[in-house]
């Protein structure tokens, strides 16, 4: 077994493909967004990437059959759009810095073969507090893209995120220039405490404008409501605990 | 020294061999089961696997002589059964994710040479509480095996284990398909707090049915009683400590 | 992508170049000093070093454009001095011991190509307490350099630093002999609790004498005042908290 | 730079050489013993081993000159004994399991070139409490050596040390058989809380008998007294603290 291996179900014939990455990360924003997009555009899985850089683990599917944890590539053909999509999601990112670099490098090699010229990486930007209306922050491989994104409502804010971008969403941008690819990272604001479908929706709304696709958000909104009701209940419990403790002190 | 090395005592001539893995893990269920099976079937060690992925450590045998920590391969010939066994146990699993992948890959290579076509991996499934009658959960490389196992009493339960299977018991399944081998993982429920001979017995009872071997469980039952008496004493001590503390508060 | 890669903007033609290293470390003394020197001598960046040994991360520049975290090489031409400078600074040092060795080895290879014969590494020496007038401690690759440095006010003190020198500032010295380069490490005393421009200035004052360059310290002094006012405020707050707590006990 | 490099000062011509390892470890017993033996037999350093598996660090010698942390090989010629010695000591052991294996393998390769056939590794056996008269425990590569050592007072005790032997002292034994070398490990009992010259002396006394060398222990005894007076003072301080606290409760 090589350090990283790709196993193709099929080699799709794609028209001017754009690549979208949404792997697990802060608030799982990128993964939620990528999975929702795959769902909405009826994406078809065409390859698995397995790697020694992932945890030594198998996932058990509902039918009792296992598969190695992996990253998965989907494509979505778009009739008449002259722009098909390749979407990456998966169970894990690489566990080590070296693994992260090697996986991003490997993926860019795969994309080059697929003749991808434009990349969008999706992620969350953790701000440590709950937020009503998440902004979508951006970063890009060149200034013309920054301008383009600003027009679409993406926020470019000095020192946000201050620590830069860690993981695949960052590396794919940073290494894209060695592959001659233009790349944008879209980061939805999120508390970082919960999976955040609302932030994923904010990111997708921007991406949908860029790609000119129609996306229905009912499912993400339903998930967001679930999360909201969980967090609300947690707050209630917390408030009650505080009250009880106060009474305790008085009693 | 290579990253992984196998040193053969002999190269056995095996008839239609089935492979069974029982390395250290949760509750040491797999290792206890594998060792008991070796003992019952008078297995003979035929190879040692040493590796830089194991701790840098030697074991001192009772006669004062050392050996590197390792994994060991045993075989058991079964007259007239047309199905010999190869059993793996050992001191450790690989210390790193990469080590885990490389060891499982290496072992599958060895099994291919031995013409193994069917694999059983044995392990524990930690549930965080003491349990009277451990169930045996399963996972497999294909649905026909799932059906087969269900008939024998193996439980396939959606989201159990939720985190998938970590380590050799999982990887050998996940990677088996690249070697054309059919594989089943049997996991005995266990608290995860102690070595668990009772869980090992539950796993072996299923495996004995599958392999059609007769196993005497006296020794495992004796070990289980030992563990039971230790845990009972621990509970007593704990109860006494609690009582003393309560008195202390009152006094 | 290789483990370490250098990407040249240009290959400068340098006259008898001396190398100065100032990477992040204790009190960021080396990095502050190197950056100030680049600023003062109008250094020009000529190469980026990227590596799998750095964190998997991109930095977002003020214009919204990303770059991989890296180490950067600058040169400064010095008219009539017959001694140009090559200065290394960067975002990170290697994350692992192996990474540290490989990066230092790589950099020495680059310096050999540039015909560097003399190296100065700059760093901090953490002493765990605030200090008014930081001394500059030294270490070197040969005794003649030790003598030379002592004359310029560098302190060589038995068992200081007791633990030796960790990281690039140490390794570049330790490995320099295999490349036939003479090398000195200058370490400014620092508390180790804050970035320390005062310590960086102390180091630079020595280095400026050695290299016979004129350096204006206004900016470092301004930074030092900022740090001083922050630490003073922290002390005030701490004192106030202590007082409040004392009152609390009394009340 | 390779992962491990040996740099020879000279290639000694040795007569039937025996190898002794004493690297840092529990109570620094092995290192103290090896250094004392080098001192007593006027050993001469003939090679340095540097490695990416050691910390990225230089040591500053008393004259202000640095050297990479390393392992060092000494030899001691013994007139008329028909048995010269090669002694290994150093600053560190390998930092990772893989590093430990590779360093031991490398050293065994060097020893093979030197035609070493017999190895003694020296270490401490931590028992977690202070001890008046440390026993010397043993382990060996074959039973005939166990018998030989028992006659000289080495203790072979079932399940001591229970965890086996970790690090170079263990690996050199475990891997010696692949190099056709006979090997014994001598472990002096030690609390494990302090460097332990008394334990080092106990180990050396056995080794001196085996090698038929005369060793003066004055220096080790002086060091042991120093340690004893430090531990005695610590106990006094502790007792005083306890007393003060007790008074506090009463008052």
- Give the domain CATH number at C184: 3.40.50.10900
Please enumerate in sequence order all residues whose Cβ is within 8 A of that of D2, keeping only pairs 6 or more positions apart, or say none.
none
Is residue D11, in this structure, part of any structural domain at all? yes
| CA geometry: angle A80, A83, A87, nearest 5 deg | 130
Cβ burial B99-137 (10 Å sphere, 16+ → b, else e): bbbbbbbbbbebbeebebbbbbbbbbbbbeeebeebbbb
Q: Mean pLDDT across chain C, nearest whole number?
A: 94
Evaluate whether residue A174 is within a structural domain. yes
Q: A99: which 2 tokens? A: 């693994």
Max Cα distance, chain A (Å): 74
Distance CA D70, CA C76 (A): 36
Cα gap C101→C51, rounded to integer Å? 13
CB B170 within 8 A of CB B185: yes
Residue of chain B nearest D154, judged by CA positions: B64
- CB within 8 Å: C143 and D53: no
The answer on pLDDT for B153 being more than 90 is yes
CB B229 within 8 A of CB B236: no
D249 band by pLDDT with thresholds 50, 70 and 90: very low
**CB atoms C58 and A167 under 8 Å:** no
CB-CB neighbors (< 8 A) of B187 in chain A = none
Q: Is the confidence at residue C166, as pLDDT, over 90? A: yes
Contact C58 A171 (CB under 8 A): yes
Is the confidence at residue D234, as pLDDT, over 90?
A: no
Q: Which of D1, D60, D63 sits opposite C101 (nearest CB)?
A: D1
Q: How far is D142 from chain B (nearest CA, A)?
A: 6
3 state SS of C223? helix
Q: Which residues of B lie inside 8 Å of A (Cβ-Cβ)?
A: 94, 97-98, 100-102, 104-105, 138-143, 146, 156, 158, 161, 163-168, 170-171, 173-175, 178, 185
* Residue entry with tokens 């679409």: A152
Query: With touching defined as 3+ CB pairs under 8 A, do chains B and C touch?
Result: no
Helices (H) and strands (E) in chain A, counts: 6, 11
Collect all residues of chain D within an 8 Å Cβ-Cβ radius of residue B95: 97
Integer CA distances (angstroms), A220 to A201, A208, B209, D232, in order: 7, 14, 47, 68
Residue B166: list chain A partners with CB under 8 A.
55-57
Take residue B183 and report the two structure tokens written for it.
């594989």
Compute the distance between CA of residue D76 and CA of residue B193 in angstroms, rounded to an integer. Answer: 53
- Residue C48: which of C93, C101, C6 has the closest Cα? C6
Q: Assess whether pLDDT exceeds 80 at residue C244.
A: no
Nearest to A173 among C3, C62, C66 (CB): C66
* DSSP classification of residue D188: E
Chain B residue with CA closest to A70: the answer is B174
- Residue D246 forms part of a structural domain: no
Q: Which two tokens stand for residue C47?
A: 């190469």
Domain count, chain D: 1
Q: Nearest C-alpha of chain C: how many angstroms from A135?
A: 16
Contacts of D192 (CB under 8 A, 6+ apart): D26, D27, D124, D126, D127, D128
* ipTM computed for the complex: 0.92
Q: What is the pLDDT of residue D250?
A: 42
pLDDT band at C241 (very low <50, low <70, confident <90, very high): confident
| Token duo for residue B71 | 């994994």
B177 vs D160, residue with greater confidence: B177
User: Could you list the residue range(s) of the whole structural domain that residue D102 is in?
Assistant: 4-215
Residue in C170, C172, C182, C185 to test binding to D, most D beta-carbons within 10 Å? C170
How far from chain centre, in Å, is Cα B149? 18
Residue C57 counted as domain residue = yes
Query: How high is the pLDDT of residue A136?
Result: 98
pLDDT digits (tens, 9 = 90+) for A58-97: 999 999 999 999 999 999 999 888 999 999 999 999 999 9
B35-44, C75-84, C93-102, D39-48: which range is least confident on average?
Answer: C75-84
Choose the closest CB to C52 out of A98, A166, A167. Answer: A98
From the list B1, B53, B58, which residue is nearest D164 (CB)?
Answer: B58
Q: Are B and A neighbours with ≥3 CB pairs closer than 8 A?
A: yes
- How far apart CA D108 and CA D171 sit, in angstroms, is 10
Contact across the interface for B102 and A63, Cβ inside 8 Å: no
Best of D6, D7, D56, D57 to substitute, by most chain C Cβ atoms within 10 angstroms, is: D56
DSSP strands (E only) in chain A: 4-8, 18-21, 44-51, 57-60, 66-68, 71-76, 85-90, 118-126, 136-140, 165-166, 182-190
Q: Which two tokens stand for residue C118?
A: 């003399």
> Which tokens go with D225?
């007294």
Q: What is the pLDDT of residue D163?
A: 81
Q: Quick one: chain B helix, strand, coil %, rounded to 5?
A: 40, 25, 35
Q: How many CB pairs under 8 A join A and B?
A: 75
Q: How far apart are CA D168 and CA D20, in angstroms?
A: 12
Q: Residue C75's beta-bridge partner residues?
A: C44, C86
Q: Is the pLDDT of residue B250 over 80?
A: no
Tell me, what's the pLDDT at C250? Answer: 42
Q: Considering the domain boundaries, does residue A22 fall inside one?
A: yes
Beta strands A71-76 and A118-126 are unpaired
Rounded CA gap, C172 and C183, in Å? 8
For residue A14, the model assigns a pLDDT of: 96
Rounded to whole angstroms, the Cα distance separating A124 from A189 reads 6
Chain C CA closest to residue D59: C164
Q: Render B158-195 in DSSP notation, one character per residue.
A: TTBTTT-EESHHHHHHHHHGGGT-EEEEEEEEE-SSS-
**Which other chains touch chain C, taking contact as 3+ CB pairs less than 8 Å apart?**
A, D
In degrees, rounded to 5, the angle at the alpha carbon of residue A11 between the alpha carbons of residues A8 and A17 is 120
Instruction: State the DSSP string of C93-130.
Output: --SSHHHHHHHHHHHHHHHHHTT--EEEEEEEEE-SS-
Task: Pick C146's closest partner by Cβ from D59, D63, D95.
Answer: D63
How far lies D44's CA from each of A14, D10, D77, in Å? Answer: 70, 10, 9
Asked, for residue A142, whether it belongs to a domain, the answer is: yes
Helix (H) or strand (E) holding C238, with range, is: helix C218-250
Q: Contacts of residue D104 in chain B, CB cutoff 8 Å?
A: 56
B52–D140: do the CB atoms touch at under 8 Å?
no
Provide mean pLDDT across the span A142-153. 97
Long-range contacts of C176-181 (CB under 8 A, 24+ apart): C176/C108, C176/C119, C176/C141, C177/C141, C178/C108, C178/D1, C179/C108, C179/C109, C179/C111, C179/C112, C180/C117, C181/C108, C181/C111, C181/C112, C181/C116, C181/C117, C181/C118, C181/C119, C181/C141
Residue D153 lies in a domain: yes
CB contact under 8 Å between D52 and C97, yes or no, is yes
Supply the DSSP symbol for D178: G
Q: Which of C156, C166, C178 sits opposite D55 (nearest CB)?
A: C166
What does the pLDDT look like over D58-92, one tens digit per residue? 999 999 999 999 999 999 999 888 999 999 999 99
Q: What is the pLDDT of residue A240?
A: 81
> What length is written for chain B?
251
Contacts of A158 in chain C (CB under 8 A): 62
Closest CA in chain A for residue C2: A102
Q: Which residues from A are below 8 Å from C when comparing CB atoms?
A: 94, 97-98, 100-102, 104-105, 138-143, 146, 156, 158, 161, 163-168, 170-171, 173-175, 178, 185
Interface-testing mutation among D2, D48, D66, D67, with chain C (most C C-beta atoms within 10 A): D66
- Is position C251 within any domain? no
């Amino acid at each position: 077994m090589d350090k990283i291996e790709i196993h193709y179900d099929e080699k799709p014939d794609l028209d001017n493909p754009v690549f979208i990455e949404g792997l697990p990360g802060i608030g799982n924003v990128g993964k939620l967004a990528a999975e929702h997009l795959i769902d909405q555009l009826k994406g078809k899985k065409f390859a698995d990437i397995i790697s020694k850089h992932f945890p030594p683990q198998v996932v058990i599917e509902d039918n009792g059959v296992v598969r190695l944890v992996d990253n998965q590539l989907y494509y979505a053909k778009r009739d008449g759009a002259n722009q098909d999509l390749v979407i990456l999601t998966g169970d894990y990112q690489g566990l080590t810095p070296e693994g992260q670099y090697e996986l991003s490098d490997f993926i860019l090699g795969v994309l080059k073969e697929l003749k991808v010229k434009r990349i969008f990486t999706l992620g969350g930007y953790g701000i440590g507090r709950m937020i009503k209306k998440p902004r979508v922050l951006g970063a890009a491989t060149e200034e013309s893209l920054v301008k383009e994104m600003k027009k679409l409502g993406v926020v470019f804010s000095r020192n946000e995120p201050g620590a830069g971008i860690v993981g695949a969403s960052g590396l794919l941008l940073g290494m894209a220039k060695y592959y001659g690819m233009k790349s944008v990272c879209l980061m939805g604001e999120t508390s970082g405490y919960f999976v955040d479908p609302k932030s994923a929706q904010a990111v997708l709304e921007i991406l949908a404008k860029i790609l000119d696709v129609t996306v229905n958000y009912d499912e993400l909104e339903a998930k967001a409501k679930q999360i909201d009701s969980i967090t609300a209940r947690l707050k209630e419990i917390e408030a009650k605990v505080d009250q009880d403790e106060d009474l305790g002190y008085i009693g």
